[in-house]
Structure 1
Amino acid sequence: MKYVDAAQVQKKLNLRLAINKIAKTIFLISILFSLVVLIILFYRVISQSLGWIDIQFLTNKLSTVAEKAGIMGAILGTLWLMIVVAPITLILGVGTAIYLEEYATKGRLQRFIQTNISNLAGVPSIVFGILGLTVFVRGLGLGNIVLAGGLTMSLLVLPIVVVASQEAIRAVPNFLREASYGMGATKWQTIKNVVLPASLPGILTGAILALSRAIGETAPLVVLGIPALLIPFPDSIFDKFTVMPMQIYYWTLDSALVAEYANLAAATIVILLLILFLMNSIAIMIRNKFQRRF
Structure 2
Amino acid sequence: MGWQEIGWYLALGAFVGLVAGLFGVGGGGVMVPTFTSLFALQHFPREHLVHMALATSMAAIIPTSIASLRAHHAHGAVLWSLVWKITPGILVGTFAATFLASQLDALPLAIFFTCFMAYVALQIWLNIKPKPSRQLPTLLGTSLVGVGIGAVSALVAIGGGSLSVPFMTYCNVKIQHAIGTSAAIGLPLAIAGTVGYLVNGWSVPNLPPYTIGYIYLPAVVLVSAVSFFTAPLGAKLAHSLPVTTLKRGFAVVMFSLSLKMLYTVITH
After TM superposition, is the score higher than 0.5?
no
TM-score, with normalisation over the residues of structure 2?
Answer: 0.30
TM-score, with normalisation over the residues of structure 1?
Answer: 0.28
Larger Rg: 1
